[in-house]
Amino acid sequence: MVMINIDRLCARINALAEIGRVGDTHGVCRLAFSDEDRLARDHIAQLMHTLGLAVSVDGIGNIFGKRAGQTERSPVMTGSHIDSVRTGGRYDGTLGVAAGLEVVERLNELGIDTERALVVAVFANEEGARFQPDMMGSLVFQGDLDLVQALDTIGIDGTSIRDNLRRIGIAPTTRTPDKAIHAFVELHIEQGPVLERTGATIGVVEGVQGISWTEFTIGGSSNHAGTTPMSMRRDAAFVACDIAVFARRLCSAIAGNQLATAGSMSVFPNLVNVIPSKAVITIDLRNTNEEQLKLAERRVLAYAKDAAASDGTTLDVRTLARFEPVSFSPQIMSRVARSAATRSLRMHRMPSGAGHDAQILARMCPAGMIFVPSVGGVSHNFNEFTRPDDLEAGAMVLWDVLLELLNERDPASTAGI
């Protein structure tokens, strides 16, 4: 059984974590299309060149490193992302990229030629922390998001992606990978507590829950906190809080493990003795069941309208992101499970709680994911950690699944069950 080089894999993850490292924490801040993102992108592109990959970049800044196959059959793709949230950990996304490159290096070392080419992809702006929607790079590559529209996106700092790409000097190369992909497999940390709780090392990911992000902007009226009777207030922050509390309480009334988060709230003018004239709040709703997710969206929206009207405030509603639940390829799931069984790794079948590029790739080819445990279920946090032996296990399962797919002659959708 082929083993990957875990010391090299850890060294690569740790080297990348030095780029955009936050103080003396273990975490990183590499917001999409920032200077830190640019440095990390250069680092990976350089590594791809060193490994002999043909490197290309598309219009939104996705990076592709291709190791040629023996035939012209459609390539197998793996990879993930290297952008982070502001309080990011060192494994989120980078594991999938570093492990893909480790597979390439092992293939090179062992002198293995494969039927199909292997492409390691680094998808741009997966996190959506600066520019929304998230998973933007894979959406543009897959085709459901128009490139021009994506480039015109304005971020939280008021700048556009187009301006940032120019600023950090990212331009598309002439040739980018064909859209015909045989299969896509992404290794990622779980970012939740399920694997640790079940004692499993490998998560066989069945799909991704649906995600709905909505921004509510409430317009009220600023006035003196001491002289304005309660009955005469138009308090924007009160309405925003009311919506947040409703969304949280709604979860127990909706089937299918409904989740709700009011993760961002801004209040204006944000002064202790002034009734807020404006509040902006985001509500993140998730469910593995599309019908239940739609129901939650309808109920939150209806409540927000009522709450705003009853306090005499205005309400503007904007959808920031919307993804339906996704099911991954049963063939890839069974390959992941088979590899884990062969290597005597305990596995657990589970949905993904977070969004991932693999769910976008699932629209264009058979796609799947492998999860490894996150200690304490902690992610999007400087203290995110996955034990080296779990990283190794995940990378070896990735190796097994990719090797099978790379030498598969038939279309993946009809083979391998």
Interface residues with Zn ion (CB under 5 A) are 92-93
- Nearer to Zn ion among residue 92 and residue 390 (C-beta): 92
- Nearer to Zn ion among residue 138 and residue 164 (C-beta): 138
Query: Is residue 51 packed enough to be buried (19+ CB in 10 Å), middle (13-18) or exposed (0-12)?
Result: middle
- Nearer to Zn ion among residue 93 and residue 192 (C-beta): 93
Count Cβ neighbours within 10 Å for each residue of 343-360 and write b for 16 or more, e otherwise. Answer: bebebbebbbbbbbbbbb
- Nearer to Zn ion among residue 82 and residue 170 (C-beta): 82
In the complex, the smallest distance separating the C-beta of residue 124 from Zn ion, rounded to whole angstroms, is 13
Count Cβ neighbours within 10 Å for each residue of 160-198 and write b for 16 or more, e otherwise. Answer: bbeebbeebebeeeeebbeeebbbbbbbbbbbbebbeee
Q: What is the CA radius of gyration of the chain?
A: 23
Query: Considering Cα of 261, then 263, then 268, then 273, what sign does the dihedral take?
Result: positive
In the complex, the smallest distance separating the C-beta of residue 81 from Zn ion, rounded to whole angstroms, is 6
CB atoms within 10 A of CB 286: 24
In the complex, the smallest distance separating the C-beta of residue 156 from Zn ion, rounded to whole angstroms, is 19
Give 363's DSSP letter: T
- Nearer to Zn ion among residue 122 and residue 275 (C-beta): 122
- Nearer to Zn ion among residue 92 and residue 242 (C-beta): 92
- Nearer to Zn ion among residue 92 and residue 102 (C-beta): 92
In the complex, the smallest distance separating the C-beta of residue 191 from Zn ion, rounded to whole angstroms, is 7
**Angle (nearest 5°) at CA 249 between 248 and 252:** 105
Q: ω before 269 within 30° of 0 (cis)?
A: yes
In the complex, the smallest distance separating the C-beta of residue 37 from Zn ion, rounded to whole angstroms, is 14
Strands 210-219 and 314-323 come out as antiparallel
In the complex, the smallest distance separating the C-beta of residue 92 from Zn ion, rounded to whole angstroms, is 4
How far, CA to CA in Å, does 208 sit from each of 3, 63, 276, 381? Answer: 29, 24, 38, 21
Q: How far apart are CA 54 and CA 119, in angstroms?
A: 9
Q: Structure tokens of 161?
A: 């992606």
Q: How far apart are CA 384 and CA 352, in angstroms?
A: 17
In the complex, the smallest distance separating the C-beta of residue 254 from Zn ion, rounded to whole angstroms, is 26
> Hey, which residues does 369 pair with through a beta bridge?
186
- Nearer to Zn ion among residue 40 and residue 308 (C-beta): 40
- Nearer to Zn ion among residue 75 and residue 96 (C-beta): 96
- Nearer to Zn ion among residue 92 and residue 235 (C-beta): 92
Instruction: Name the closest residue to Zn ion (Cβ).
Output: 93
H, E, C per residue of 69-133: CCCCCCCEEEEECCCCCCCECCCCCHHHHHHHHHHHHHHHHHCCCCCCCEEEEECCCCCCCCCCC
In the complex, the smallest distance separating the C-beta of residue 365 from Zn ion, rounded to whole angstroms, is 20
In the complex, the smallest distance separating the C-beta of residue 188 from Zn ion, rounded to whole angstroms, is 6
In the complex, the smallest distance separating the C-beta of residue 130 from Zn ion, rounded to whole angstroms, is 15
